[in-house]
Amino acid sequence: MFASIPGHFGPGLGAIALAAAVLLLSDLPKAAKSQKTFNVAMLQMASQPIMDEGANGVISGLEIASAV
């Protein structure tokens, strides 16, 4: 019963892997040149201590990654 699963799904998974590889390889030249700056907005609808800690953690994580 389970022996036929790789033969049944193999060609489809292989086609997906091949398409993913082609897309990744075709994007390499663009990815190396990209130095864009992104604007990020964070909206907090309510002030709760756990939510404030989460927001501060996101901001400090961006600062550590030199994104802020």
Return the HEC string of 7-54.
HHHHHHHHHHHHHHHHHHHHHHHHHHHCCCCCCCCCCCCCCCHHHHHH
**Does residue 5 carry a pLDDT above 80?**
no
Task: Give the integer Cα–Cα distance in Å for 14 and 16.
Answer: 5
For 17-38, the pLDDT digits (tens) are 999 999 999 988 776 665 777 7
Task: List the end-to-end C-alpha distance of the chain, in Å, as a whole number.
Answer: 55
Residue 67: predicted pLDDT? 61
Domain assignments of the chain as residue spans, ordered by start: 1-35, 37-68
Residue-wise pLDDT for 10-19, tens only, equals: 889 999 999 9
Q: What is the DSSP letter of 63?
A: H
Question: What percent of the chain is predicted at pLDDT more than 90?
Answer: 38
* CB 58 within 8 Å of CB 42: yes
